[in-house]
Amino acid sequence: MTGIKRLLTDTIIYGFTTIVSRLLNFLLTPIFVSRLRDVAVYGIFTHLYACISLLNAVLAFGMETTFFRYLQKVKPEDKGKVYDQAFLITLLTSLLVGFLIFSNQSQIAAWLSQGDGHSDYVIYVQLLLGVLVTDALAVVPFAKLRAEGRAIRYAIVKILNIIITLGSNLTFLYLFPKLMVTSTFWNEFLSSWFRPDWVLGNIFMANLIASGSTLLLLLPQLASLRLRIDTSLVKSMLNYSFPILIANISFIINEYLDKIIFPFLLPGKEGEDALGVYGAVSKLAVFIALFVTAFRLGAEPFFFAYAKNENAKKTYANIMLYLVLFLVIGMLGICANLDWLKYFLKTDDPVEQALFWSGLSIVPVLLFNYVLLGIYMNLSIWYKLTDQTRYGLYISVIGAIITIALNIVVIPRYSYVGAALCTTVTYLCMISLSYFWGQKNYPIPYTVSKISLYLLSAIILSAIMQGPLNSNFWWCNLLLVVYVAAVAISEKAMIMRLWKGAAKASNQPSK
């Protein structure tokens, strides 16, 4: 129970920063929607960030998981070497990929703009390349903070990043344009380098400033680096991380491929509009996404550190059940409140607003996909603990193949509805494979029947909220309260064990 308390504490701390960060993205959504104005332009925004997400996986090179794993494998005096080699690999990867992108920026810009000669895309590529590299170089220093248990320091840097991101966006989108209108001095000063009508580029510039500032805040961690090469350790880490890299790329394909290939499967204004709607309504699923991310941040180092405990497998099984309960309740909580959450996608143009709101029907599907993602992340720990990362490669590649095939077939016919359902099918397949192979190689006593019951109930209740209840705030939230009460009664024994265990652990003197 002490282990679960530690996981809960870390998840709360990491989760707080993750929640605030994702909430910032959520709160910035109405600003971006109103400033970009056109649904199609929001589609371009969604498309470019989906491409960035894929490249982020390449630059990180699976070093986060590899770093945690090798800290447990080497002698205490060699842990500094692990950090040095992990950062060095990320640095070299970033320089190589960055050089390739910069050298081919014109061709990449032409491909992204589908050959329409949009010169702004070249600058978009340059700005986003800067974001890519600075974010990649921060991965290992952030992992070092987590490994050292410096959750507060981690949180401070993340919160400062949030403040800078918000401040930069508000400055570029509101303050500078207003100053240019109201002040001759500021107009003359800003007009030489700032374009108030270049909203998309200004958003990317604000994000680059935030990413660069974050890397500067990590200078204490960077200062402890020794750029030394341990050939045998590097080779071993690369062998471990390569399957993780492919798995991460495949995972990003599962998560973002639909948004990357959308403009090519539905070309022209129709595709841009549909992608804009899809990208915007996806933001309403942010609350489940952020909990999954927070859980991963707290769980991964915990699972590695706790693996040698006698009751580790039982603890992992309990964590899965707790996770599913949190996720399905969160899913239903958002479904119950869509009637007012939709106003975060408000624009001055009623036609554009109606277009954004037309995608609300897929929000329950998007939420359920994040629930499935959380389950898969929990399941995937078995192949990391047993150093059988090739299974993660197999599962992710199979998932990517399913995603690619289904999206090519479904998106042209069913647009973003088909894209969302493709993700559901993919995650269900990946969960099934991970569970099947995991129980053979590292059996964990998951309560499959109970978990399945909670998932099925969440699907049924979300359908009722969207269908017969028509997203009515009062009736949907009443149904939510009844469901939470039923879960509390059903899991009373588990809740009491958790409560007593946490109280007992908190009363034990610190060593």
Distance CA 250, CA 395 (A): 9
- With cut-offs at 50, 70 and 90, classify the pLDDT of residue 4: low
**Mean pLDDT for the chain overall:** 84
Residue 510 has pLDDT above 50, yes or no: no
- Is the pTM of the predicted complex or chain greater than 0.85? no
The token duo for 165 is 């991101």
- Within 10 angstroms of residue 339's Cβ, the number of other Cβ atoms is 17
Kindly report the number of other CB atoms within 10 A of residue 365's CB atom: 19
Q: Above 80 in pLDDT, residue 346?
A: no
Burial, 474: exposed, middle or buried (Cβ in 10 Å; 0-12, 13-18, 19+)? exposed
CB 299 within 8 A of CB 316: no
Residue 259: which of 121, 406, 411 has the closest Cα?
411
Buried b (16+ CB within 10 A) or exposed e, 258-293: bbbbbbebbeeeebbbbbbbbbbbbbbbbbbbbbbb
Alpha helices in 312-386 (DSSP H): 312-336, 338-341, 350-357, 363-379, 381-385
- At 359-389, the pLDDT tens digits run 899 999 999 999 999 899 888 888 888 878 7
Which conformational region is residue 387 in: left (phi greater than 0), alpha (psi within -120 to 50 degrees), or beta? left
Percent share of the chain, pLDDT over 90:
33
Question: For the chain, what is the largest distance between any 2 Cα atoms, rounded to a whole number of angstroms?
Answer: 72
CB 456 within 8 A of CB 396: no
Give me the domain span that covers residue 219: 2-507
CB-based contact 29:345 (threshold 8 Å)? yes
CA distance 34 to 29: 8
**Contacts of residue 239, Cβ cutoff 8 Å, sequence gap at least 6:** none
Q: What does the pLDDT look like over 133-177, one tens digit per residue?
A: 999 999 999 988 888 878 788 888 988 998 999 999 999 999 999
pLDDT of 1 reads 47
HEC string for 160-186: HHHHHHHHHHHHHHHHHHHHHHHCHHH
**Cβ–Cβ under 8 Å, residues 54 and 112:** no
> Which of 184, 186, 164, 185 has the alpha carbon at shortest distance from 175?
186
Total domains in the chain come to 1
Q: Tell me the pLDDT tens digit for each residue of 93-144.
A: 999 999 999 999 888 888 877 666 567 888 899 999 999 999 999 999 998 8
The DSSP call for residue 510 is P
Collapsing DSSP to helix, strand or coil, 503 comes out as: helix
Buried b (16+ CB within 10 A) or exposed e, 174-185: eebbebbeeeee
Q: 168 is written with which tokens? A: 């930069």
**Residues 346 and 265: beta-carbon distance below 8 Å:** no
φ and ψ of 224, to 5 deg: -80, 0
Alpha carbon distance 344, 29 (integer Å): 7
Given a contact cutoff of 8 angstroms between Cβ atoms, the answer to whether 57 and 245 are in contact is yes
